[in-house]
Amino acid sequence: MELPKHAFFSGRIVPYSDAKIGLLTHTLNYGTGVFGGMRGYWNEEEQQMFVFRASDHFRRFRQSASLLSMTLPLSDDALTHALIDLLRAENYKCDCYIRPFAYFTDEVITSHLAALNPDISMVAVAFPGLPHGGGLHLTVSGWRRVDDNMLPARGKIAGAYVNSFLAKTDSIQAGFDDALLLNTDGHVAEASVANFFLVQNGIARTPPVSDNIVEGITRRTVAMLLKAELGIEVEERAIDRSEVYLADEAFVCGTAVEVAAVTRIDHRTVGGGGVGPITFSLADLYQRIVRGRIQKYLPFCSPVYHPMEANENRIS
Ligand code: PMP
């Protein structure tokens, strides 16, 4: 991955190489940070970059912070300005991935989070997307998804990602593409960094937010599109492992992975073994929406290379 040229750091845009923190920084030692993962999509015809659902990502970012007793030092408007300034400084004319990060700056050894001082950084890297054209092969992981009574599962807390990465690493080493994690009740939670849906008998099902999943913004988008655009009923309910094995279609969704078909699970073929028709239509629709090609969904797309006034009006 090529490093970005700039970073938003200590309240301003600086060269990436100047954005540094000390070894004793609390978050570096204990994972006490929270982050976001957003995408900017390049629209070649319009010569425009669209950031998808920026305000929803910042809302979850703030909620994740509050789970750590962390009050973000910037308003949503200030975050949006920082994001636009950063992307304009990079001057990307390609898809990119944006990483806002909030961390405790204190170089101190303590366990009392509320006594610490947060700051926010942001970087954006060119990101062509992940290859998953033929469908993913998942395995049910031996690692259980973090439980909300142990570590808040719904937000994006840095330390919690050790759980995701252990599951992902083991799945890759065992020859799969990704892990499907069960929660402590034994129900399906999600993939390592993406939410999970299955389709059976024309009904789409996904675990409820109370099943220790990250409250995915793509999940919310996809559920809305399934209902509003594809006329598919969406049921949020606990999902058993063996239901996954019997699904007609399955897919994972997230900002990075977008909508990716799951065609095999634990060496069992899902449905016909190819990308199912509902997953295919959904993935295609999603692509057109995030690039600002469907008028109705333009309020989700914040243009970068326009004046801020126009941008603010278009953030949902
Ligand atoms: N679950 C986990 C653990 C994640 O890290 C992500 C990515 N943020 C998701 C689900 C999907 O969330 P989103 O659609 O907001 O990217």
Query: Tell me, what amino acid is at 90?
Result: E
Pocket lining: 303 vs ligand 1, CB cutoff 6 Å: no
* Ligand 1 atom nearest to CA at 190: 1
The torsion of the CA quartet 298, 300, 304, 308, rounded to 10 degrees, works out to 90
Q: What is the pLDDT of residue 312?
A: 47
DSSP β-ladder status, 301-303 and 118-126: unpaired
Q: How close is the Cα of 257 to the center of ligand 1, in Å?
A: 9
Q: How close is the Cα of 109 to the center of ligand 1, in Å?
A: 30
Q: How close is the Cα of 108 to the center of ligand 1, in Å?
A: 30
Q: What is the pLDDT of residue 61?
A: 98
Which three-class secondary structure state does DSSP give residue 61? helix
C-beta separation of 222 from 259 below 8 A: yes
Cα 256 to Cα 195: distance, rounded to the nearest angstrom: 11
Q: What is the pLDDT of residue 130?
A: 82
Q: What is the pLDDT of residue 215?
A: 97
Q: What is the pLDDT of residue 129?
A: 83
C-beta separation of 263 from 212 below 8 A: no
Residues 6+ apart with CB under 8 A from 292: 41, 43, 46, 48, 50, 298, 301, 303
Q: What is the pLDDT of residues 24-72, one digit of tens each?
A: 999 999 999 999 999 999 999 999 999 999 999 999 999 999 999 999 9
Query: Tell me, what amino acid is at 297?
Result: Y
Cα 204 to Cα 193: distance, rounded to the nearest angstrom: 20
Q: Domains (ranges, CATH) in the chain? A: 6-126 (3.30.470.10), 136-290 (3.20.10.10)
Pocket lining: 34 vs ligand 1, CB cutoff 6 Å: no
Q: What is the pLDDT of residues 268-297, one digit of tens each?
A: 999 999 999 999 999 999 999 999 999 999
Nearest CA, atom 9, ligand 1: 194
Cα 115 to Cα 69: distance, rounded to the nearest angstrom: 9
Nearest CA, atom 12, ligand 1: 216
Q: What is the pLDDT of residue 193?
A: 98
Task: Write out the two tokens for 112.
Answer: 């009392």
> pLDDT below 50 — which residues of the chain?
307-316
Which three-class secondary structure state does DSSP give residue 126? strand
